[in-house]
Amino acid sequence: MVEDRLALIRERLSEVSMTWQSGSTLDEIRRSFEAYLAEVGPRGAAMAEPCCQAIPPGIDGAWIGQGERCALYCHGGGFQIGGVASHASLITRLAVAASMRMLAFDYRLAPEHRYPAAIEDAFTAYQWLLDIGEKPAAIVGDSAGGALALQTAQRARDAGLPLPSRIVLISPWLDLSMQSDSYIELAKVDPFSKPAQLRLMAKAYVGREGPALDSPLVSPLWGDLSGLPPIVAHSGEADITVGDSFKLTERVLEAGGQIDLQVFPGMCHHFQIYEALPEAKESIDALGHALRAA
């Protein structure tokens, strides 16, 4: 039963997140988050052997997967936590499903590095791929990394650069101003993310002197969505950010673009990290199919 599987996730995640609220330092939270994602994706993490290829100068990262074509992967974590190590399982499983190499990179995190550090690193990585002749077939992002993936494509379009064939978004957090009703209606349902937590992460990212939270500079949902490649987005029905995916679908279609949104019944935010969930495999397999067709 979906409810039983989510109950187990909620119980374990509650145990882990309690340590994040008990005076832990940010470094401790980051290490705990990495350990938790490795715990829920053990087989995928074990498969994550980086390819022996160059990475962008000045940016830590790794190539994961095998294949002729490549993609750029932007990890999630609310712009404050996460990295290649924490997301190794998810990236590896997706790379295998897509038969594709993925450049995953550790962008600078807030609050040490506020906006625009993360998007500058993402765009730099994309430009570097183009410079070495590795035009990405896709830009992929999960959660906050979904915002970076969409923004990178928007920046590439505005700069007149070659665009990827697909944008792939996994439980994307695209609106830091959190205007969707899902942030309220699903607050007690989604075990993974909470409104107060996301608000703090958003404020840490932009700082006091940064853009307004509804600015397209940090919330690509409200930016120009015309002239972009086809978008594939997967969210959960109990995903606190699912309203962003619905609004994205509406705005992309209004702009004359293409988008394929799939919402998985009962699933929480970022459910693809849970390797044991049948729904996670279903989502990864479908995303892999979309990437192979890119």
For position 29, what pLDDT does the model report? 87
Catalytic residue among 86, 143, 219, 245: 143
Catalytic residue among 75, 87, 234, 269: 269
* Mean pLDDT, residues 58-83: 94
DSSP 261-287: EEEETT--TTGGG-TT-HHHHHHHHHH
Instruction: State which of 9-13, 75-79, 85-89 shows the largest mean pLDDT.
Output: 75-79
239 is catalytic: yes
Beta-sheet pairing, 259-264 with 231-236: parallel
Lowest mean pLDDT among 43-47, 172-176, 208-212: 43-47
- Residue 278's CB is within 10 A of a number of other CB atoms, namely 10
- Residue 22's CB is within 10 A of a number of other CB atoms, namely 8
* Mean pLDDT, residues 74-98: 95
Q: Rounded to whole angstroms, how far apart are CA atoms 212 and 207? A: 10
Residue that has been written with the tokens 């209606």 in this structure: 185
Would you list the domain boundaries of the chain? 2-19+33-51+60-292
Catalytic residue among 121, 175, 239, 244: 239
For position 44, what pLDDT does the model report? 55
For position 1, what pLDDT does the model report? 60
Q: Which residue has the higher pLDDT, 280 or 50?
A: 280
For position 8, what pLDDT does the model report? 67
- Plot region of 245 (φ>0 → left; ψ -120 to 50 → alpha; else → beta): alpha
As a whole-number percent, the residues of the chain with pLDDT over 70 amount to 87
Q: Rounded to whole angstroms, how far apart are CA atoms 178 and 244? A: 8
Per residue in 155-204, pLDDT tens? 999 999 999 999 999 999 999 999 999 999 999 988 888 899 899 999 99
Tell whether the torsion through CA atoms of 85, 34, 216 and 245 is positive or negative: positive
Q: For the chain, percent helix, then strand, then coil, each to nearest 5?
A: 45, 15, 40
For position 104, what pLDDT does the model report? 94
For position 193, what pLDDT does the model report? 84
* Mean pLDDT, residues 15-37: 77
Residue that has been written with the tokens 């993402």 in this structure: 122
Reading the block at residue 15, the tokens are 């145990």
For position 50, what pLDDT does the model report? 53
For position 47, what pLDDT does the model report? 55
Q: Rounded to whole angstroms, how far apart are CA atoms 287 and 234? A: 8
For position 90, what pLDDT does the model report? 95
Reading the block at residue 222, the tokens are 């409200």
Q: Report angle CA 254, 244, 237 to the nearest 5 degrees.
A: 115
Sorted by sequence, the CB contacts under 8 Å of residue 120 that are 6+ apart come out as none
Per residue in 231-276, pLDDT tens? 999 999 999 999 999 999 999 999 999 999 999 999 999 999 988 8
Q: Options 3.40.50.1820, 3.10.310.10, 3.40.50.10860, 3.40.50.2000; which CATH number does 2-19+33-51+60-292 get? A: 3.40.50.1820
131 is catalytic: no
Q: Among candidates 144, 141, 171, 170, which has minimal Cα distance to 153?
A: 141
- Whether residue 220 has a cis bond before it, omega within 30° of 0: no
